[in-house]
Structure 1
Amino acid sequence: MKGKKRVEFVIYGLHPALFCSEVDNYFICPICYFVASDPVSCKSCEQIFCEGCIDRYSKIKENKCRICKIDLEITPLRKFPRKVYESFFLYCPNFNYGCRFEGGIKEMHEHKAICDFKKINCSNPICAHNFLAKDKPIPEADVCSMQCLETFEISEILGKTGRVEVSKYFWKCLQNHRIKYEESLEKEYLDATSGKGTLKTELEAELKELEDKFEEIKWHIHPGKYVNEVWTCCQDKKDTIGCSLLQRL
C-alpha cells in the first residue's frame, strides 16, 4: 500500500474576529474563507484573493480563477476597493498571546514583523519547542537555548564543509562552555565569600535577641526554694517581676 502524499494546508488570510467592525463578504478570500491578506484580484471577474492563497492554488490546482474558471491573470486592487480595505481597523493576530496593539491594515503589516508576542519555532531541527519573540534568549538566532544554537549551527555545517571545519567548530563550543563554567564558579565563590560578614552579623543579632528574651522570661519563671514549709521566690528583690509566695500543696 502506497503512503498518502502529505498536503500542507496554509491559511494566509486574517480571521474576521480580529477586525474591530464587520467586514463585507467582498473582501473574503474564497480559498481560505478569511479576510484577504495582501489582496489581489482576478482581472476577469474582479474576485479578491489572498496573494499567498491564489499563488499556492495556481501551482497545486491549475492556473485558472477559482470563481470564473477563466485563465488567471492577477491584478492589484482597484483604487476604491484598496481605499476601503486600508480603512479597516483590527487587533494584532497575536492577541491571544498577550499583544494589545490595534491599528490599520498598513500599520498591522509593519507591526507583525516586530511584534514581541509572535510565536517563533526553534530553528534546531530536533527541537519542538516554540516561544514568544519577547522571550527569545539569543537575539541573533531563532533558538530557545544555547544548546539548540550549537546544534542548529552544526546541522548547517554538516554536508557543506569538511571534517576540519566541523572539528574546529566543536572545539570552539567546548572552549566557550569551559569559559562560562569558570565564570559561573567564580561568581558563586564571590557571592559566598562576600556574604560571610553579613551572615555573621545577622546571626549575632539574632543570638542577642534570644538572650535578651531569655533574661526577661527568667525573672518571671525560675526555681524558688522552701522556707519554713513555704515555697518562696525572690519577691523581695526590686528587679524581679511577678514573684509571689506559693503555698506548698
Structure 2
Amino acid sequence: MENNSITRDRVVGNDRTFKEFSCQICQNLLWEPHSCSSCHRILCEKCMQKWFNNPLNRNTCPFCSKPSEYKPCAFLNQYILPYLRIRCRNENLGCKQILPYKQLEHHETADCQYLSEQCMKCNQLILRSKLVEHQQRLEQCISCPIKCTICKNSFEDIDFQAHFTECYQQKIDQLNTNIDFDRNMERHIRDNERITPNSSL
C-alpha cells in the first residue's frame, strides 16, 4: 500500500476496536498482518519487514526472541479486517468515501477523485494535479516536522530517519521487557503455589 499508516481517526468504530487490531510497534491499524510461528503475536507487514531487514535480528521474533517465521494471519485477513470501514486518506482534500478494508488500497491509488502524492519536501498529501505547482511555490512547500508514529513527537526531516530507527528499537526493547516481566511473575506465582502450605491443614 502506498501509504499504509492508518491512524485511529481514520477507522470508523470505537477505541477498543482500533486497539484490538493495531500493530504493537507502529501503533497503526494492522495492514497485511503477519503472526509469529512461535508466540503468535501479530505485526503489520511493514514493521515485520523492517525488523527482519536488520541482519542483527537473525530471523528472531521481536517479542519472544525465538527463531521464528512470520506468516500472513489468515484469520484476521478473512474474518475480521474486511469488516472494518476506513476513511480515505484524501479526506482533507475533499474525498468523503468510507471504504471496507480490502477496497481501501485500490481506491486510494486508482479510483479516488482526489488522488494525491506525498510531497518529498514538506510531507503533505497534495493533489497529483497540483503537485508540481505546489513544489514551485516556496511559500506553500516549506519543510515541516515529521511526526513519529511510535512516540508521537515531531522531528525535522534530516533527523527523522535516525530517530525512527532508535525509537523503533526502544519500542521492541520495551515490549521484550514487558514479556520478560510477565513470564517472571507467572514463574513466581507458580513457585509460591508449590511451597505455600495448604491452609485447610
TM-score (normalised: structure 1): 0.44
Q: Distance in 2 between matches of 1:28 and 1:58?
A: 20
Higher RCO (C-alpha under 8 Å, 6+ residues apart): 2
Q: Judge conservation of contact 1:12–1:53 (CA < 8 Å) in 2.
A: no
- 8 Å CA contact 2:32–2:77 kept in 1: the answer is no
Q: Name the residue aligned to 1:52.
A: 46
Secondary structure of the residue aligned to 1:90 is: strand
**Per-residue deviation at 1:24?**
5.0
For residue 79 of structure 1, the aligned residue among 55, 75, 78 is 75
CA distance in 1, matches of 2:124, 2:19: 34
Tell me which residue corresponds to 2:6.
14
How far does residue 144 in structure 1 lie from its aligned partner after superposition? 0.7
Letter matched to residue 132 of structure 2: C
Amino acid at match of 1:108: L
- Aligned pairs for 1:1-249 (under 5 A) are 12-22=4-14, 23=17, 25-60=19-54, 62=57, 63-79=59-75, 82-114=78-110, 115=112, 116-121=114-119, 132-136=126-130, 144=132
Identity percentage over the alignment? 21
CA distance in 2, matches of 1:131, 1:86: 26
Q: Unpaired segments of 5 or more residues in structure 2?
A: 137-201
Change (3 A) 1:13 1:73: farther
What's the C-alpha RMSD, in Å, of the aligned pairs?
2.9
**SS class of match (2:47):** helix
Alpha-carbon shift at residue 82 of structure 1 (Å): 3.1
CA distance in 1, matches of 2:64, 2:122: 42
Gaps of 5+ in 1: 1-10, 137-142, 149-249
Contact 2:85 2:101 in 1 (8 A): yes
Q: Deviations over 1:70-95 (max 9, x none)?
A: 12311111336631111101111222
Moved more, 96-105 or 60-69: 60-69
Tell me how far 1:20 sits from its aligned partner: 0.8
Displacement of 1:134: 4.9
Q: In the aligned structure 1, how far is the partner of 2:8 from the partner of 2:123?
A: 29
Cα deviation, residue 57, structure 1: 1.7
Give 1 or 2 for the bigger CA radius of gyration. Answer: 1
Please report the TM-score for the alignment, with normalisation by the length of structure 2: 0.53
**Superposition deviation, residue 16 in structure 1:** 1.6
Q: What is the CA–CA distance in structure 1 between the aligned matches of 2:91 and 2:85, rounded to whole Å? A: 14
**Residues 131, 144 of structure 1: 8 Å contact kept:** no
> Within 1, Cα distance between the matches of 2:36 and 2:82?
19
How far is the alpha carbon of 1:132 from its aligned partner? Answer: 2.6
Question: Cα deviations across residues 19-50 of structure 1 (Å, max 9, x unaligned)?
Answer: 11132534221110111112111122222211
Q: Describe the shift of the 1:80–1:119 C-alpha distance in structure 2 as closer, same or farther (beyond 3 A).
A: closer
- Partners of 1:21 and 1:45 lie apart in 2 by 28
